[in-house]
Structure 1
């Protein structure tokens, strides 16, 4: 009987362990890819909510900064219209003080607006992700509810009248419906199953790569 070389045994064990570890990484990547592919916008919920929250905050901050600068510029002009400078040095210091005043107010307005818009967008997509998990379906219904619920909370918090609350919820429902249907359309184009199209109309999903392949083959 041949003797077993301990060094060869260690090499074989290490090689097998490395192969199992690499295979486990590949399996995790494939699982993450599959879950991401079926998710909205091709992103997991955490990444999607984070990205849209930061994007909404950036857009809100940019809009707030521009609006704050314009408003501050008009206020500064109105408050100093009765004492406008008449010399070159006077105009120099006038614009210097004006720039400082507008920058200060614009940055504050950008911060407030960014927090407000980013928080609102993050809330919508967080509720949408939670409803996707609860219902087990990703469709326009969850998006519409995700927009309506914050509108209802806003109306309740500000003690709005019934007519005002109804208007806000109706507008939110319309926006949510359009956004939800747009997401469902994007999912269908990407080849993800949209359950009501498959169940009610018999329209089965086809991956975009397969659509392109079929188009090329049909036009040869």
Structure 2
């Protein structure tokens, strides 16, 4: 009785299948943004603190301790702020790439989805970082090139997979033909042996 209930639960269960590229690409972009933001933000905060406090350097050991302590806190805070900002910007840019790619797939433009995603992401990246128009053109061209390279890689992967399947089929047919010939040869040998023993 419990097995029927388990089967009913399995049939009524809601399954959500999220393609890997939906979370891998934005997740990798967020991690990259955090890393870049931590390094750049902490360095900028350190230089800013040094510039703001250059005219009042401490004179005692306690003063140096407090100076370095407050500098470290400012560096940490500046790094975390920049990490959050860069992670958000890069994560949204990567999510834009995935959204454009998925939109092209749903529209039936599967052959050009990488190129369209590169173009769209280049424009989105330029808008996110408020770049001048010349820089937006460069990021768009770079996105087009990256999309073209990814399209070429996908084409070559599909071509190689097709070649592997074709070769596997040929080897299976050759093996079946060789096995059939071996059976025929074994059948002839058995027949010859029977004729020889009949003599």
TM-score (norm 2): 0.66
Partner of 1:124: 97
Q: How many residues align?
A: 168
Query: Unpaired segments of 5 or more residues in structure 1?
Result: 1-10, 33-43, 192-203, 215-220
Corresponding residue for residue 93 of structure 1: 66
Specify the SS of the correspondent of 1:112. Answer: helix
1:171 corresponds in structure 2 to 142
Deviation of residue 76 (structure 1)?
Answer: 0.8
Matches within 5 A, 1:34-73: 46-73=19-46
| Structure 2 residue 120 is matched with structure 1 residue 149 | yes
Task: Provide Cα deviations, 1:99-138, integer angstroms capped at 9, x if missing partner.
Answer: 111111111111111000011011101211221232263x
Task: Give the Cα separation in 1 of the matches to 2:33 and 2:70.
Answer: 26
Distance change (3 Å), C-alpha of 1:92 and 1:186:
farther
CA–CA distance in 1 between the matches of 2:127 and 2:79? 30
Return the offset for 1:179: 2.7
Structure 1 distance, partners of 2:92, 2:73, is 29
Greater radius of gyration (CA)? 2
Alignment TM-score, normalising by the size of structure 1: 0.60
User: SS of the counterpart of 1:109?
Assistant: helix
Question: 1:52: Cα distance to partner?
Answer: 1.6
8 A Cα contact 1:45 1:129, kept in partner: no
Q: CA RMSD in A?
A: 3.8
